[in-house]
Chains A and B, each alone.
Chain A
Amino acid sequence: MDTTQLLKGVLDVAVLAVVEDEDGYGYDVVRRLRTAGIEDVGDASVYGTLRRLYAAGALSSYVVPSDEGPHRKYYGINAQGRAMLEAQRKEWHEFAGTMSSLLRTGENA
């Protein structure tokens, strides 16, 4: 199964979940997603998602200058983001439960 396609629908909630733990910059979020087991995610997809969530008002952002190189843009979750994360978490569980029972049923059939 092409998990890339599956991931597209849930990348938002995955990114929100990662940032909820701790503020992070672009590649930091990518690394934490990979560490969590989501290996196939593209860097640019994560960066784009962060920007989109920020534009949607779910994340706040701040720039941390660096003395030794280009600055980093950190993202942190805000109240709206938490609400979005809660709603999507709930949706995911419902959807995952449904899918699980469906697939289990199919296996049994």
Chain B
Amino acid sequence: MSITDTPLGSDVADFAARVRAELADLAPDQVDDLTDGLEADLAEAWADRLTRSCDGATRSDGPSGTANDATALFGPPAAYAAELRAAAGLDPRVVRRRPGLRGRVGALVTAPWRGAVSRAQRLLARLRSTRWWPPVEDLLVALRPMWWVLRGWIVAHLLLQVSGIERNGPWWVPETFVGWVVLVAAVVASAQWGRGWWQVGGRWHRVLVVLNAVAVVAGVVFVSWLPGRETEYVDVEMGPLQDGVVVGGEYAENLFVYDAQGEPVAGAQVFDQAGRPVTLGIDSIGAAEHWDGSDALQWRLGGARADGTGVWNAYPLLLFPEAALDVTQAWENGELVWLHDEPWVPTSPGWPFAAAQAVTVPTGKAVTVPTGTPTQAPADDPVGTPTDAPTGHPADGPTASPTGATAPTTVVPGADQAAEQPDAGATTAATSTGDDATPVDPPGGTGAADTLPTAPTR
């Protein structure tokens, strides 16, 4: 007969656990010694009595009951435990005197705690009666020194946080010398207490037990807090972003547009997804207005509309000499009044490459591409990027100078044709809502309505 033969094995385990709880005032090894094998005995006794009661031979003086409850069979766990310890020659359980008012209040306050301790002891007793728990307990005991160190760290943490010695929030290791001293002292104290070298009695023991519990809670808090610490100070002091195009962490000073075949496109107007003109912003100016090496005041513009308003989202931006504009009007009224008294031409920056690599749009099975791009199978290098473009001397490029270091090239031969330049290239934005506040006309597909000599956008 084994415990598995009884359907009430868990009742047996529960009864055994309650008996062990009644023996909780004894040393753990005494309890183990006294109750080792108790489950097996109880289960067998139970099974035996069930058989006897079926035979109608129940003991007349034994605990009555229909044997569906361990207490009915074996009596109250307390009485069972008392009999056990008496027979074993151990003193009966110490019953404390009826406490005074203070004691009763104290008992009331500590009742939940004592209840928890009692439950924990019962749980431990049940665990110890299993086959898998003892090795686990061995492992936990072996790992105890780790807890001692962690506990010291937590206590040091609490002390240094509360005292304000370590000001920078939670830490893995202290940042100050005092912090290190406190940390080492706390770890040593924790370990010595854990090893039982520093025996304290009575009240101090209780204080340490409470401190231990606090350390457990604080440890959980700290450890869950720390990993998030690194990201706490991100996004501080970040004002609203300035307009501009950022490349490699710097504002681009100019943009150069190449078409799908890799050919340079001058005067390309660039808009964002909402139809807003993409400008390079104030932060892009820097040395940009002096790329031709001149100290003279120059105007950096993409071009102008028919009404003379400036366009700053047509690329590449060009430099216009002071003589091209009425400076007074520009400064005082913000209007661009073009002067045609003197011969002048805008200068263009050098293009980074004579030509970029051609770009194709890879597709799956041949379909008609609505953009009008010829459908073609992916080339060897379907996505050419400007940075991969040839760096040699682009002798046949539209501009003679590939880099800004050399002298700027005149791209417009006559002053009266200067206004054409901004519109010479393709418009890169396919659509535009046209609801922006800038004076730029919507580059609709039907062509600009203004009087600029614009070319069709396609």
Contacts of A48 in B (CB 8 A): 34, 83-89
Q: How many A-B residue pairs have CB under 8 A?
A: 91
Flag whether B45 is at the interface (Cβ < 8 A).
yes
Flag whether A46 is at the interface (Cβ < 8 A).
yes
Can you name the residue of chain A whose Cβ is closest to the Cβ of B34?
A: A51
Contact across chains for B37 and A72 when beta carbons are under 8 A apart: yes
Contact across chains for B87 and A69 when beta carbons are under 8 A apart: no
- CB contact between B87 and one of A25, A27, A31, A46 (< 8 Å): that residue: A46
Contact across chains for A69 and B4 when beta carbons are under 8 A apart: yes
Contact across chains for B84 and A69 when beta carbons are under 8 A apart: no
Can you name the residue of chain A whose Cβ is closest to the Cβ of B19?
A: A44
Contact across chains for B37 and A49 when beta carbons are under 8 A apart: no
Contacts of B44 in A (CB 8 A): 27
- CB contact between B37 and one of A25, A39, A44, A45 (< 8 Å): that residue: A25
Contact across chains for B39 and A43 when beta carbons are under 8 A apart: no
Q: What's the nearest-Cβ distance from chain B to residue A76, in Å?
A: 14
Indicate whether A70 sits within 8 Å of B80 (C-beta atoms), given known contacts A27-B44, A51-B88: no
Flag whether B3 is at the interface (Cβ < 8 A).
yes
Q: What's the nearest-Cβ distance from chain B to residue A102, in Å?
A: 28
- Alpha-carbon gap, A62 to B214, bound state (A): 42
Q: What's the nearest-Cβ distance from chain A to residue B245, in Å?
A: 76
Contact across chains for B33 and A51 when beta carbons are under 8 A apart: yes
- CB contact between A27 and one of B9, B41, B83, B88 (< 8 Å): that residue: B41
The dominant DSSP class at the B interface is: helix
- Alpha-carbon gap, A89 to B140, bound state (A): 49
Contacts of B89 in A (CB 8 A): 48, 52, 55
Flag whether A105 is at the interface (Cβ < 8 A).
no
Contact across chains for B45 and A52 when beta carbons are under 8 A apart: no
Q: What's the nearest-Cβ distance from chain B to residue A11, in Å?
A: 7
Contact across chains for B33 and A25 when beta carbons are under 8 A apart: no
Contact across chains for A43 and B45 when beta carbons are under 8 A apart: yes
Contacts of B83 in A (CB 8 A): 42, 44-45, 48
Most chain-A CB neighbours within 10 Å: which of B9, B33, B37, B40?
Answer: B37
Flag whether A40 is at the interface (Cβ < 8 A).
yes
Flag whether B48 is at the interface (Cβ < 8 A).
yes
Most chain-A CB neighbours within 10 Å: which of B85, B89, B129?
Answer: B89
Q: What's the nearest-Cβ distance from chain A to residue B396, in Å?
A: 91
Q: What's the nearest-Cβ distance from chain B to residue A107, in Å?
A: 28
Q: What's the nearest-Cβ distance from chain A to residue B220, in Å?
A: 35
Flag whether B38 is at the interface (Cβ < 8 A).
yes
Flag whether B441 is at the interface (Cβ < 8 A).
no
Indicate whether A26 sits within 8 Å of B2 (C-beta atoms), given known contacts A43-B45, A48-B85: no
Contacts of B21 in A (CB 8 A): none
Q: What's the nearest-Cβ distance from chain B to residue A40, in Å?
A: 7
Contacts of B4 in A (CB 8 A): 68-69
Flag whether A59 is at the interface (Cβ < 8 A).
no
Contact across chains for A43 and B41 when beta carbons are under 8 A apart: yes
Contacts of B34 in A (CB 8 A): 47-48, 51
Q: What's the nearest-Cβ distance from chain A to residue B93, in Å?
A: 14
Contact across chains for B87 and A52 when beta carbons are under 8 A apart: yes
Contact across chains for A69 and B2 when beta carbons are under 8 A apart: yes
Contact across chains for B88 and A43 when beta carbons are under 8 A apart: no
Indicate whether A66 sits within 8 Å of B87 (C-beta atoms), given known contacts A31-B48, A43-B74: no
Interface residues of A (CB under 8 A from B): 11, 25-27, 30-31, 39-40, 42-49, 51-52, 54-55, 63, 65-66, 68-73
Interface residues of B (CB under 8 A from A): 2-4, 9, 33-34, 36-45, 48, 59, 61, 74, 80-81, 83-89, 129, 131
Sample of 16 more A-B contacts, CB < 8 Å, known A47-B38, A47-B41, A49-B87: A11-B87, A30-B41, A31-B48, A43-B45, A43-B80, A48-B84, A48-B87, A52-B87, A52-B89, A68-B2, A68-B3, A70-B37, A70-B39, A70-B40, A70-B129, A72-B37
A-B complex: 3 closest residue pairs judged by Cβ atoms: A48-B87, A69-B3, A73-B37
